[in-house]
Amino acid sequence: MSANVKANITHVIFDMDGLLLDTEKIYEQVYRGLIEKYGKTYPFELKVNCMGRKASEAAKVIIDHLSLPISIEEWLEVSQKAVLEKFADAKLLPGVDKLIRHLHKHAIPIAVATGSSSTNLKVKATHHGEFFSLFHHILCSGDDPEVKRGKPNPDIFQIAASRFNGETPSPEKVLVFEDSFLGVEAAKAAGMHCVMVPDTRLDRKYTKSATVVLDSIEDLCLTDWGLPSFTDT
Ligand SMILES: [Mg+2]
Q: Which domains does the chain have, with CATH numbers?
A: 11-21+91-225 (3.40.50.1000), 24-87 (1.10.150.240)
What residues does the ion ligand 1 have nearby, CB within 5 Å?
Answer: 15, 17-19, 179-180
- Does residue 215 have an active-site annotation? no
Mean of pLDDT over the chain = 94
The residue among 180, 185, 211, 173 whose CA lies nearest residue 197 is: 180
Long-range contacts (CB closer than 8 Å, 24 or more residues apart) made by 74-79? 75/34, 78/34, 79/30, 79/31, 79/34, 79/55
- 17 is an active site residue: yes
What distance in angstroms lies between residue 196's CA and the mean position of ligand 1's atoms? 10
Section 211-227 average pLDDT: 95
Residue 143 alpha carbon to ligand 1 centre in Å: 17
pLDDT in tens, 12-46: 999 999 999 999 999 999 999 999 999 999 999 99
> Angle at CA 14, nearest 5°, toward 11 and 149?
100
pLDDT at 1 over 70: no
In tens, the pLDDT along 128-171 reads 999 999 999 999 998 999 999 999 999 999 999 999 998 999 99
Q: What separation in Å is there between the alpha carbon of 64 and the centre of ligand 1?
A: 22
**pLDDT tens, 37-95?**
999 999 999 999 999 898 899 999 999 999 999 999 999 999 999 999 999 889 999 99
What band does 233 get if pLDDT is binned at 50, 70 and 90? low
Give distance in angstroms: CA of 188 to centre of ligand 1.
15
Strands of the sheet with 110-114, listed across from one edge: 137-140, 110-114, 11-14, 174-178, 193-196, 212-213
Distance 74 CA to ligand 1 centre (A): 24
